[in-house]
Copies of this chain bind each other. A is one copy, B any other.
Amino acid sequence: MPAYTAPIRDTKFVLEEIVKLERHGNLPGFADAGPDTVQAILEEGGKFVEGVLFPLNHSGDKEGCMRAEDGSVTTPKGFKDAYRQFVEGGWGTLGAPAEYGGQGLPHAVSMAFEEYMCAGNMAFAMYPGLTHGAIAAINVRGSDTQKQTYLPKMIEGTWTGTMNLTEPHCGTDLGLIRTKAKDKGDGSYAITGTKIFISAGEHDMAENIIHLVLAKREGAPDNVKGISLFVVPKVLVNTDGSLGERNGVSCGSIEEKMGIHGNATCVMNYDEATGYLVGEPERGLEAMFIMMNAARLGVGVQGLGQAEIAYQNAVSYALDRRQGRALTGAKDEEAKADPIIVHPDVRRMLMDARAFTEGARALTLWAALQIDLSHSAATEEEREAADDVVGLLTPVIKGYFTDKGFETAVNAQQVYGGHGYVQEWGMEQYVRDARIAQIYEGTNGIQAMDLVGRKLGRKGGKALMQFAALVNEEIETAKADEALQPLAEKLEKAGGELQAATMWLMQNGMANPNNAGAGAAPYMHMMGIVSLGLMWLKMARAAQSHLANGAAGDSFYEAKLVTARYYMDRFLPDVGALRRKLESGAETMMALPAESFART
C-alpha cells in the first residue's frame, strides 16, 4: 500500500533556481551536468529507487539481517540483487572523483539522488552512504597507494566501507577508546579491540569491506590526542589488487534495534587484524572528521528523505480516507463523508511537512554547491567562504533536519489515525527508521555543541557573518518586490532574533560555558529555521518571477508561494520562543545536585 515517487519536479526547480547549476559552468563536472543530463539522471535514479529499492523497504524491515555462527551476515531478501543493480547502474559513482572512476558530477546532483535513496529505503542507502564517508577520508588523507588500492573498487561499489569509532564504553568521548594498534615493523599494524554500532559492518553484498578504524598506537597518549586512523580491509588485498587472505576482523553479533532493520549494525571484533595507518599518526581525529562531516550531511539527508516518504503517504491517505465533513460545509455531497484533507488539522500536518521537506531539499542542494565551491571556486577567498558556510551548516543540517524529519514522520503517521500504528500500513517504520538519524554520527546535542562551541566562534565569527550577509542580501532583494515584502519582513524579524541570541551567547557563554551548553540546542534550531527561511525566500522569489513572466496559473509555482507564506507564518514564530529559552541561561538547568534527580 505505501508508495514512493521521486520528487523530480521539485529537485529540478531547486537545481535550476536555487543552486543555479548552469551559472557554475566553470566548476569541474558542472559543464557535464546540463539540464538534459540532470533530467535523465533524476528520472533514471528515481525509477531505480521507486522500482528496486522502495519495494524492499518494508520487507527488509520485517526480515532484518541475520548473522550465522561463522560471523557472516545475510541481508534481507532482495538486497543483494538490488545492490548488484546499484553497482551496475553506476549509482555510487555520480559525485565521486573522476580519477578513480567516478563521474565527477556536481555534489548537488549526487545529493539529489542520495535523498531519493534515503526516502525509498534508508536501511539500504546506508551501505553506499557509509562507503562515501570512507572514500572521503582515504581520498583526503590516504597515501597514493591506498587511494589506488581502495578507491576505484569502493567508488564502483564492489567494495563497501565502514566507520569504526564507537566502543562499548565510549561513543562521544573518543579519547577513551581502547582499541590498540601494534606496529608490526613492515608498514602495517596489528589492530586489536572491539567496536560497536558499526553500520554495514558485515554483509553479503560486496566482495570486500574496507573498515576505517580509530585506534591508539602503542605509546601514544591515552586521550583524544593519541588516536590514529587505520584502514583495515575485511579481506587483505594483494599488491596486484587481487583479494588475498581473510583478515582478523569479524562480526561478533548484530544489534536488535528499533528500526533500520535492513542494515546490519555490528559488533566488530579486531583480533590482531592487519591495518594500515591513514595519514599521519596521532592525527586520527582530523581524518575522522573528514568522513564524519560527509556522513553528517548524509544523515541530515536521511531526515529529509524519511520526512518526504512519510509526507507522500500521508497525502495519499488524506486524499483517500473519508471521515466527517469540512467545517465550512460538505465538499462531496454525493458521498457520506469528505476526504480528510478537508480538515484544517490534517492540512496543518501536511503543510508543515511540505514546508520542511521543500525547504530542506533546497538547503541540502545549496549546501552541496558550497562543497564544490569550497574545492574549486576561482579564488581562495571564495573557496574559504564556501568552506566556512559548509562547516557552519553541517551540524544544522544534521541536527535540525533529523529532529524535524522525525517530527514530520510522526505527524504523517498521525494523519493515519489508528492505521498509522499498525505495521501493515508502513507508516510506523518511517518513524522507527527516522529516529536513529537524531542519534548516530554524533547525537543532535553534539551537533548543537559543535555549532555553538566550535563553528560559531571560528575565525572571529566569520562564517556566521557571511551567512548573515547572505540572509540580509536576500531580504533586501525580496523587499523590493511588493508581493514578497511581507515574507521578507517576517524573515528579517527572525534574523534579528537569531542575531540577538548570537550576541547573548557571545557575552554569556564566555563568562560561563554552561550558558553556551544550555543554549546550544535552541540555537541550532534557530539556525535551522532561519536557514530554511532563507531558502523559502529564494524559492518564493523564483516562483513569483515565473508567475509574473508567463507561467501564470502554474500550480507548482502557486503552491511554492503559498507554502512560503505558510512557512513564514508557522515556522518562524518558534525563533522568538527559542531565543527566550536560550536567554534564560544555564542557572536553573544546572542548579540541582545530581543526586536530586532520582525519584524516591
Contacts and interface: CB of A to CB of B under 8 A. Distances in A.
Given A315-B597, A347-B589, A562-B588, A420 B439 contact: yes
Interface stretch (A90-98, A146-154, A366-374, A424-432): A424-432
Contacts of A271: none
A578 B584 CA distance: 19
Contact of A417 (B171, B343, B449): B171
A570 B171 CA distance: 29
A171 B8 contact: no
A449 B584 CA distance: 33
Interface in A7-22: 7-10
Contact of A559 (B166, B555, B574, B596): B596
A336 interface: yes
B421 A443 contact: no
Interface string A332-358: 000011010111111110110010000
A interface, over-half SS: helix
Contacts of A345: 445, 448-449, 517-518, 520-521
A328 B514 contact: yes
Contacts of A418: 166, 171, 196-197, 439-440
Interface string A567-600: 0011001101110110010101111111111111
A435 B7 CA distance: 29
- What interface size band does chain A fall in? 35 or more
Contacts of A10: 599
A332 to B, nearest CB: 11
Contact of A257 (B166, B341, B422): B422
Interface stretch (A276-284, A319-327, A477-485): A319-327
A593 B336 CA distance: 21
Contact of A555 (B422, B565, B569, B596): B596
Contacts of A344: 514, 517-518, 520, 586, 589-590
B598 A569 contact: no
A426 B569 CA distance: 39
Nearest to A559: B596
Nearest to A576: B577
A476 interface: no
Interface of A: 5-10, 166, 169-173, 175-176, 196-197, 255-259, 265, 312, 315-316, 318-319, 322-324, 327-328, 336-337, 339, 341-348, 350-351, 354, 406, 410, 413-414, 417-418, 420-424, 428, 431-432, 435-436, 438-440, 443-445, 448-449, 512-514, 516-518, 520-521, 555, 558-559, 562-563, 565-566, 569-570, 573-574, 576-578, 580-581, 584, 586, 588-600
Given A315-B598, A344-B514, A573-B581, 8 more contacts: A172-B323, A172-B324, A257-B422, A258-B421, A341-B594, A421-B435, A565-B588, A574-B577
